[in-house]
Structure 1
Amino acid sequence: MNFFPNNVKLLSTPRILEGGSSEGSFNNFNLALHVNDKKSSVLANRDLLLRCYNLPSAPVWINQTHSNKSVDAASISSIVDADASYSKKLGTVCGVLTADCLPVFICNKEGTTVGIAHAGWRGLVDGIIESLIESFNCKGEDLMVHLGPAISQLSFEVGGEVKSQYLSKNKNFESCFIDLNNKYYLDLYEAARVVLKSFGVSSISGGDRCTYKESDQYFSYRRDGKCSGRMAHLIWMERL
């Protein structure tokens, strides 16, 4: 899925990986510590992640709170509250965990800065993508974006208050909602594109998967509730 510069690497983990340690509804490659999976299983999976994908370093995890805060992954030494991270340092692995929310991978065309955002409906309307883009300190036309696996529109019913929040921020979000039988459905992918295009970003890929429907591939909180595991989405730069 990598149309980024050759030195930039992207990864979205599968729900199941040979050697994964999680059991039951977390079967078998859950990477989150906060979902009542056995800690030993999650730590074993994180070790497998490092080895299986030959990561240059352990991912820099953040405590995701559906905020609009972005942090420099290379500058933090402990887990901080944030929903996006970026790095200009080779070998620093930026990461987020999801189970329906949208992972937004970003890099500049020179391949000298990378970042990733955890964009649920709250973070998206509150400006998490904007926050991450501003960390790059460049024009939108100089950025490349990949939209990782998230819940698709027809599986994501939301309340009228959600639509009102979006439209009060930007009327262009109208195109991100459909109304079926007096119920609203939000397209996270399209909402992300609205934000990205407002910055002049045109190099956008992805946005065609569904974590809810593709149960063999992905965890889904909307589908499985508190028993859902989490996938990891990672981005980093390597020396060519």
Structure 2
Amino acid sequence: MSTNSVLLPSWPMQSQIGAVSSTRLGGHSVGAFDSFNLAYHVGDNRDVITKNRDLLNTYLPEGAIWLEQVHGSDVHVVNSTTDLSKVVRADALYTRLRRQPLAIMTADCLPILLASKDGGEVAALHGGWRPLASGIIANTLMSFRAAPIDINAWFGPAIGPTAFEVGAEVRAAFVNQNDSFSQAFVATKENKFLANIFLLAKLQLNELGVTAVYSDDLCTVTHAEQFFSYRRDGQCGRMATVIWRK
């Protein structure tokens, strides 16, 4: 695998757990999906996607579990009785199993990794604005045995605060819950705002008691050579952010 194909999270958990976030580089796809597309649902050649997933698997201890992500707040708990052949509709994965990678796909939405500081529990979340507004972080934390203060979080590449223009309804979805979320929105024109999805997730985590939050603040829209972006390109591939217990 190309060294440009993956990023390692900048957080203190890498010695205890495994985690990786893919880029758009080093794969086999062509055209709008050039080149490391990992999603079957976007119109790319299925055989090529399978080759790309096989390439990702060379970095993982086992094949990853994938979700059908629906922009909701459901969490799928993976345990010893889970049927790994079934694709589940949810937007977060949690496990205490060893060597079982959990994968989230994104192309602007915020991928969030959670790990207990003792390395015993991990989760991967699809942090689009709808899952965040509907409680995906709180629902995932409920699966953890560790207290929130004993959990680390990392944010992967996502649409940055200068690129994510939203309508008033998106701002209202957060501010109506807690006025502190207003700091994550900057008015640009009538009923339009720039939203900081990184800050929204951090504020939620902090409010829930998770204070150890790490991020490289990488914007998928502005780094066109490195990341897919649905907001920028429309038709495009998807990256994966994966976590597992060692």
For residues 54-106 of structure 1, give each alpha carbon's deviation from its aligned partner in whole angstroms, at most 9, with x where no partner exists. Answer: x1110000100001011113424210100000110101101100000000100
The reply on whether 1:203 has 2:212 as its aligned counterpart is yes
- Structure number with the higher helix fraction is 1
For residues 149-201 of structure 1, give each alpha carbon's deviation from its aligned partner in whole angstroms, at most 9, with x where no partner exists. Answer: 10001100000111111111121111110012332011100000111001121
In 1: Cα distance, 2:19 partner to 2:157 partner: 13
In 1: Cα distance, 2:63 partner to 2:44 partner: 20
TM-score, length of structure 2 as denominator length: 0.92
Select between 73-82 and 89-98 the one with higher mean Cα deviation. Answer: 73-82
Residue 2 of structure 1, CA deviation:
3.9
In 2: Cα distance, 1:220 partner to 1:90 partner: 32
Quickly say closer, same or farther: Cα 1:76–1:124, change in 2 above 3 A: farther
Amino acid at match of 1:206: S
Aligned CA-pair RMSD:
1.1
- 2:156 maps to 148
Amino acid at match of 2:17: V
Quickly say closer, same or farther: Cα 1:91–1:9, change in 2 above 3 A: same
Contact 2:101-2:242 within 8 A present in 1 as well: yes
- 1:88 maps to 96
Residue 50 of structure 1, CA deviation:
0.8
Matching residue within 25, 38, 63 for 1:58: 63
For residues 186-229 of structure 1, give each alpha carbon's deviation from its aligned partner in whole angstroms, at most 9, with x where no partner exists. Answer: 1100000111001121111105110000001100000011x210
Select between 71-80 and 83-92 the one with higher mean Cα deviation. Answer: 71-80
In 2: Cα distance, 1:208 partner to 1:127 partner: 22
For residues 15-67 of structure 1, give each alpha carbon's deviation from its aligned partner in whole angstroms, at most 9, with x where no partner exists. Answer: 111xx21010100100000000000110010011112x1x1110000100001
In 2: Cα distance, 1:211 partner to 1:48 partner: 22
- Is the partner of 1:169 in helix, strand or coil? coil
- Is the partner of 1:152 in helix, strand or coil? coil
- Structure 2: stretches of 5+ with no match in the other structure: 1-9
In 2: Cα distance, 1:143 partner to 1:111 partner: 9
Identity of aligned residues (%): 36
List structure 1 segments (4+ residues) > 4 angstroms apart after TM superposition: none
Amino acid at match of 1:39: R
In 2: Cα distance, 1:73 partner to 1:79 partner: 12
- 1:3 maps to 12
For residues 98-137 of structure 1, give each alpha carbon's deviation from its aligned partner in whole angstroms, at most 9, with x where no partner exists. Answer: 0000001000011000001001010110011111111113
Amino acid at match of 2:28: S
Q: Kindly tell me the number of residue pairs found equivalent between the two proteins.
A: 233
